Amino acid sequence: MAIDCLELNQPLLLHFVLDVDGCIGVAAFSFGVPPLQFSLQDAMAQPRDFTRSLKTALVLVWVMYTLSGVGIAYLYRCQTMQENILLNLPEGSAFATGLRLSYAVR
């Protein structure tokens, strides 16, 4: 469960600090494309189409992330779903026990 700093009356600076990890992830993903650009563009039959193909690939990635997020939200839309996923597993099942043990060992 994410902590909303504004609900806890914490300073806005702390709210920003908690969101920095997401910004770093976006920046790392964004800066991963330019080093590959030159080698991929040189290997293409029509290098002038690189920008169009890059835009198409990034839009497809965005669509897949969006669809998978909406799909997961749709699967867990029921009212009896607990916030902690471990509470939704059957109490005596071997899978649930193994999963809890793997979390404990971690």
Structure tokens at 91: 């109490």
- Whether the CB-CB separation of 18 and 3 falls below 8 Å is answered with yes
Q: CA-to-CA distance for 6 and 14, rounded, in angstroms?
A: 9
pLDDT > 70? residue 56: yes
* Widest pairwise Cα distance in the chain: 60
Of residues 34 and 53, the one with the higher pLDDT is 53
pTM: predicted TM-score of the whole model, two decimal places: 0.43
Please report which confidence band the pLDDT of residue 18 belongs to, taking 50, 70 and 90 as the band edges. low
